[in-house]
A and B are shown apart, each in its own frame.
Chain A
Amino acid sequence: MIFVFSLLIFLLVSIFTISNSIKKELEFSVSDLPELIVQRMSGGRQTLIPTDRIYKISGISGVSNVQERIWGYYYFKNENVNFTLIGIDFDIDNYKNNFNDVIDFYSEKIDTASQPFIIAGNGVIEILEKNFFKNYFVFDKVEGGKLEAKILGTFVSESNLETNDVILMPQNYVREIFGTSDYFATDIIVQVPNPNEIEIVKQKLQNMFPDSRIVSRNDIKSSYQNIFDYKSGIFLALFLSTFVSFFILIYDKASGLSKEDKREIGILKAVGWQTENILQIKFLEGFFISFLSFFLGTGLALFYVFNLNAPILSSIFIGVSKLKPEFRLLPAIDFNSLFLVFILTVPVYLIATIIPSWRASIIDADEVMR
């Protein structure tokens, strides 16, 4: 009984903990995104946006920072994967602050001016090394020709989930690879420090540039929430089937005692035990079984999720990207769900143990034994 009960608790707690941990990850990563992203649409598709719009946007009151972005996917034929190539102006202070904690540089001095270089995620480095690119990589330019870039550093493994397929490169070289002129960018990011002003700025931008699509941080949040909810549905199905099996178990237990249990109660009554004594001992038995199962299941679930990284169960949530990153689930426990699992299992089991025992113990001892 303890084994089956613990297994059910283990499944329930694992499901709740994985989904809570992933939700936390979502909150953390989305909170550091720019408030607004301005894209130019043409014929229902995103196209390059003129960079002169930056000056017009920075004139809007409430906007603190406007930046152009050059980024896109670089298709690496040998392995049939897409790298995310991001152009960065390495001299901006904002970026410099984030460098040291996120990137492991191969050399101490960064020479940003003289030659092309890249900083690549761990997944990219692995793939490049597999294809004999040890210290450099050669890009094929859109307009023909090659561009050789030195590998200058890699992202630390803690950020694998976010940076596994990312390649950072100085903006001018990314422009060269993608064949984008200096007058255009992939999109423009707008920072609005006051949350109350975001919607107003968004509206102003929309009026100013009718051909644009403004993606706010909240849009992205809800977009991810949609996919997350969709995937949570699979978890919900698992959750429901676990609960149904638990209640079948409880129903079976509550519907009547086995012959041996009845005999046991009969003997106890015959040797002089009172009904309340029998109920006490049955309560203690149920208490030990349910508490032991709950704590055993919970303990094993936490170990499985945070120490073993939830193999099998977590793959329901992870995407199917070719550069699928290995990552650590953020340690986070949702105490509400833990309490919910406790309330839905332990008291129910206790009741299911006591009621049939009470029914058996109020019958005469000889009748029970017969």
Chain B
Amino acid sequence: MNKSAYRFLFIFIFIIVLTIFEIIYYGFYSNRNSRLIDTKRKSVALTKLPDLALCTETIWIRHRSITSIFSIFPEDGTLLEYYPSSFVYNIHLQKKLESKNKR
């Protein structure tokens, strides 16, 4: 084997060993790194609110499933309803009805 073949073999083995080390470290790290998990669990136990900001569907609200499944919040901090089906009053329909009645 020439020099470059040795160099390639070295890099090959180095990358494999490094990755295996990384897999073992991260694969079993979660069990050992209990402080992070403990803190998360305790904070949930403290607030007792089911939340992962990851699951946020609306822009402002985080605790979706606890409020009301029927409430759909708008993209506004004042929590106004915005979903079309949540309005009984339809301004366009109202205008149509009014013009019909006039006729």
Contact = CB atoms under 8 A, between A and B. Distances in A.
B19 A95 contact: no
A82 B77 contact: yes
B41 A31 contact: yes
B41 to A, nearest CB: 5
B26 interface: yes
Contacts of B54: 22, 25-26, 161, 228, 317-319
A321 interface: yes
Nearest to A299: B19
Contacts of B51: 29, 162
Contact of A24 (B30, B43, B79): B30
Contacts, number: 190
B77 A80 contact: yes
Interface string A280-307: 0000000010011001101100110010
Contacts of B88: none
A95 B36 contact: no
B70 A44 contact: yes
Interface residues of A, number: 79
A29 B26 contact: no
Contacts of A324: 53
A80 B76 CA distance: 8
A59 B46 CA distance: 25
B23 to A, nearest CB: 6
B18 A299 contact: yes
Interface SS majority for chain B? helix
A364 B39 CA distance: 70
A335 B68 CA distance: 38
Given A295-B15, A319-B62, A156 B29 contact: no
Contacts of B65: 215, 219-220, 223-224
Interface in B13-70: 15-16, 18-20, 22-23, 26-27, 29-30, 33, 35-68, 70
A215 B66 contact: yes
A60 interface: no
Interface of A: 22, 24-26, 28-34, 37, 39, 41, 44-46, 69, 71, 73, 75, 77, 80-82, 84, 86, 88, 95, 98-99, 101-102, 155-156, 158-159, 161-166, 168, 187, 189, 215, 219-220, 223-224, 227-228, 288, 291-292, 295-296, 298-299, 302-303, 306, 317-322, 324-325, 327-328, 330-333, 335, 338
Which 9 pairs of residues, A with B, have the shortest CB-CB distance?
A319-B56, A299-B19, A159-B43, A158-B39, A223-B65, A295-B19, A333-B27, A98-B42, A331-B29
30 contacts: A28-B44, A29-B40, A29-B50, A29-B51, A31-B41, A32-B44, A37-B66, A41-B68, A75-B78, A77-B77, A81-B60, A84-B63, A98-B45, A102-B42, A158-B36, A162-B43, A163-B47, A168-B47, A227-B64, A228-B54, A292-B15, A292-B16, A295-B15, A302-B22, A303-B22, A321-B53, A321-B56, A321-B62, A330-B37, A335-B27
